[in-house]
Amino acid sequence: MSALTRFAQSRLAWLILFASALTLELCALFFQYVMKLDPCVMCIYQRVAVMGILGAGLIGMLGYANRLFRFAGILLWGISASWGLQIALELVEMQTNPSPFSTCSFLPEFPSWMPLHEWLPSVFMPTGMCSDVPWEMFGVTMGQWMVVAFTGYLLALALFILPALSVTKAKRVKQML
């Protein structure tokens, strides 16, 4: 079994995924409540995407030894990172090419069975405008940093998907017996 396969099927790999997503969520809350930067609806959607990655890490941490659990974690990871990247790219487009015809809504459009902005408005209620650029680091906006983050998650997924889902030699021998 290769080192990458052992790592991809370990609890540590999934813990790193979980911890990185938790760090992003805590940063978002720091920006909102300490730096007083109002999140727009696209920022809120990105929070939900990061929470999906956080959930994928949790699934993987709990079921790292089970191929079905790893598959569920990878599926959630891929869906969340892809959707998050799409939202981040849309936000960057709105910020770099502002137009009165291309704006975001004031309220999130969550499914009626999961109105996160009503259940936990302190985390999921947007209060900012998508076209505002309230923060930059090294000349890169928050939206652009999230493009980098979601791209990184997708690259890591591409690297891990086959090793995480592969059947190890020891398991193949057990199945034969």
Q: DSSP letters along the chain, please?
A: --HHHHHHTSHHHHHHHHHHHHHHHHHHHHHHHTS-PPP-HHHHHHHHHHHHHHHHHHHHHHHTT-HHHHHHHHHHHHHHHHHHHHHHHHHHHHHHS-BTTB---SS----TT--HHHH-HHHH---S-TT----EETTEEHHHHHHHHHHHHHHHHHHHHHHHHSPPHHHHHHHH-
pLDDT confidence of residue 171: 54
Euclidean distance between CA atoms 118 and 149, whole angstroms? 28
User: Residue 175 half-sphere exposure, CB side, CA atoms within 13 Å?
Assistant: 6
pLDDT confidence of residue 69: 93
- The residues assigned a catalytic role are 40, 43, 47, 104, 130
pLDDT values of the chain reduced to their tens digit, one per residue, 177 residues: 588 888 888 899 999 999 999 999 999 999 999 999 999 899 999 999 999 999 999 999 999 888 899 999 999 999 999 999 999 999 998 888 877 766 777 788 888 898 888 898 888 888 888 777 777 788 888 889 999 999 999 999 999 988 888 876 545 444 444
Q: Which whole-number Å values give the CA distances from 132 to 27, 43, 119, 129, in the listed order?
A: 18, 11, 26, 6
Q: Which two tokens stand for residue 3?
A: 């080192």
Read off the pTM.
Answer: 0.86
Euclidean distance between CA atoms 137 and 143, whole angstroms? 11
